Structure 1
Amino acid sequence: MSKAAGKLKSLKKTVERVTHTSKLKTNIPAGMAAAGPPLGPMLGQRAINIAAFCKDFNAKTAEMKEGVPLPCRISVNSDRSYDLAIHHPPATFFLKQAAGIQRGTMTPGKEVAGMITLKHLYEIAAIKIQDPPNVLLTMQQMCEMLISIARTCGIKVVREIDPAAYGEFLEERKLIVEQQRRELQEKREAKMLRTG
């Protein structure tokens, strides 16, 4: 064996193996992590102890309102341990909560599902800017991003809202949403009859 081959062999021994971690991004409702689908199979594929993860997640989110969707980033280490990073709820959740609506519009830009004030927008931006992906954004950039998200949800950003008029608007909106649901249900039933 030549000197170069001997050096190469000794060099291979000294270099440590690089272990790549498996990353998982998912939304989990606060306090409601369960071993069933869809969370259980995702964790099982990465050889994470599902029961321990669910217990850990539910303990960390115990003080939060149950059912709030939380974006989670899970890094799986080679020894089957994991690092769990829990972010604030999605911007759409905050925007819909501030507007007092359950769902956004089906046709963004054509109909308004709800309204929020600039104050609401600023408060949401102050919360969302704390998330690691948004740390490098300025407050203005964060607000602009939230305005565009609100627009896609059909939420109009205004300076002031008259509570009485907005209450009437929401009542009218409930009727429209109910009618849209009925139309969707009829379309589904008609499609089922055609394929059946």
Structure 2
Amino acid sequence: MAETIEVLVPGGQANPGPPLGPELGPTPVDVQAVVEQINDQTAAFDGTEVPVTIEYEEDGSFSIEVGVPPTAELIKDEAGFETGSGEPQTDFVADLSIEQLKSIAKQKKSDLLSYDTKNAAKEVAGTCASLGVTIEGEDARGFKKRVDSGEFDDALAEA
């Protein structure tokens, strides 16, 4: 019967220490092989916390499923800041370009409720509002109005 372990690891930087080592130590899997496979599959998220699910069998075989980091983590990584604003409606900590927002929306699209990149970008903008991040120099509410008016239709078109 398969067993499951769920952990958060830094993308491309997992190692046999915590949190993986203590979880995998008592199992029959090759810890180093798991670490290498996780690092290969999470390299694109360099350093960003990534949810990983490891399913293993008693014979030592395993499979790894890599999730997408939380939206807030992707925004922080893309914009280059550590923590959000204590007063996100008035004190802004970063500004994203439409290209950066679209990149995050595409990464998160499978986890969001949106059917297209335009609406996924609006969902990501909602997270920007709670972090104190502006988009194209405007707060998230203003940005969403501009998206709804069609101003960014070309920039947010499906690629």
Equivalenced residues, count:
137
Are positions 1:103 and 2:83 aligned together? yes
Amino acid paired to 2:126: S
Matches within 5 A, 1:1-196: 19=1, 21-61=2-42, 64=44, 66-129=46-109, 131=110, 133-134=111-112, 137-139=114-116, 140-158=118-136
**Richer in helix (by share):** 1
8 A Cα contact 2:28 2:59, kept in partner: no
Consecutive unaligned residues in structure 2, runs of 5 or more: 139-159
**Cα-to-partner distance string for 1:10-62 (whole Å, 9 max, x where unaligned):** xxxxxxxxx4x33333221233221112221122355433222113323445x
TM-score for the superposition, normalised by structure 1:
0.55
Q: Give the greater-gyration-radius structure (CA).
A: 1
**Cα-to-partner distance string for 1:84-133 (whole Å, 9 max, x where unaligned):** 1223443223312333323222343352111223342222112222x4x4
Instruction: Kindly report the root-mean-square deviation, in angstroms, between the aligned alpha carbons of the 2 structures.
Output: 2.9
Amino acid paired to 1:137: S
Give secondary structure in 1 for the equivalent of 2:13. coil
Amino acid paired to 1:55: E
8 A Cα contact 1:22 1:46, kept in partner: no
8 A Cα contact 1:118 1:157, kept in partner: yes
Distance 1:101 1:64, change over 3 A: same
Alpha-carbon distance, 1:141 to partner: 4.1
8 A Cα contact 1:71 1:89, kept in partner: yes
Amino acid paired to 1:26: V
Consecutive unaligned residues in structure 1, runs of 5 or more: 1-18, 161-196
- Matches of 1:28 and 1:47 in 2, distance apart? 21
1:174 equivalent in structure 2: none
- Matches of 2:10 and 2:80 in 1, distance apart? 20
Aligned-pair identity in percent equals 24
